[in-house]
Amino acid sequence: MCRHLAFLGPAEALGALLVEPAHSLFRQSWAPRRQRYGTVNADGFGVGWYADGDPVPARYRRAGPIWADASFADLARVVRSTAVLAAVRDATVAGADGEAAAAPFAAGPWLFSHNGAVSGWPGSLAPLAAALPPADLLGLEARCDSALVWALVQDRLRRGAPAPEALADTVADVAAAAPGSRLNLLLTDGATIAATAWGDTLWYRSGPGRRTVVASEPYDDDPRWREVPDRTLLAAGPSDILLTPLKEPPE
């Protein structure tokens, strides 16, 4: 279910990150190498990036496959950024909400993506949804599981939780309410990256030159790629990576 990528480092063209590598996110939309669930990610895509001097990221999202969007090639060729989050989507429910359900989701300085699926959706998360402020539910960008997971993360961020803690606590709550869910979450504010490996693949590559990439799978065969163990929280800056085991919810 989906492939995603986040980047921090010296300004780089979107195409150099997302299109040009031999096993780029663009190629992963039809030929992922390590995807455990699903084989084609053609139910939408999105890219978010940050411009100098503006903390609020821009987004480009579409409901169709990335390879069918003729405009994206021009965009990717000329847009450069020091921080990017992008995803290609294999929908849990085909056709649900179109472009609105394509990651990255956004709020303020944050970009967010969910690779996975919530078991028993939507009923399994009803108790967690009921605990959110009504305005959060009314403001959901889409009616998919990822949008509600994002609302749960946002609620914690607004209450002052650091990004890694917000992801870890959300994963714990969702996994307890919906056992068997796959919850690879990816979050950035343009200066840091937080991510979880919970049920699907996650890799990272750091350096040289204060450059960090976190992705569902490597986009090339560089030996510096490292796999994140399952049930792990990742917190990263441009030159440092911290991995912390995530606790299984009580049975």
Helical (H) or strand (E) element with 94: none
Mean pLDDT over all residues of the chain?
A: 95
pLDDT in tens, 110-159: 999 999 999 999 999 999 999 999 999 999 999 999 999 999 999 999 99
- The whole-angstrom separation of Cα 202 and Cα 244 is 14
Residue that has been written with the tokens 């979107």 in this structure: 14
Residue 94 in this model has a pLDDT that exceeds 70: no
> What domains sit in the chain, N to C, each tagged with a CATH number?
3-245 (3.60.20.10)
Active site residue 144: no
Residue 44 in this model has a pLDDT that exceeds 90: yes
Contacts with 222 (C-beta within 8 Å, 6 or more apart), sequence order: 205
- Choice among 81-85, 96-100, 114-118 with the minimum mean pLDDT: 96-100
Residue 97 in this model has a pLDDT that exceeds 80: no
Q: What pLDDT does 235 receive?
A: 98
Residue 77, φ and ψ in degrees, nearest 5: -70, -35
Say whether the peptide bond before residue 208 is cis (omega within 30 degrees of 0): yes
pLDDT in tens, 1-24: 699 999 999 999 999 999 999 999
Residue 213 in this model has a pLDDT that exceeds 80: yes
Mean pLDDT of 167-192: 98
Dump the DSSP string for 165-194.
Answer: HHHHHHHHHHHHHSTT-EEEEEEE-SS-EE
- The whole-angstrom separation of Cα 95 and Cα 100 is 11
From the candidates 2, 8, 79, 246, give the one annotated as an active-site residue.
Answer: 2
- The stretches of 59-125 forming alpha helices (DSSP H) are 70-78
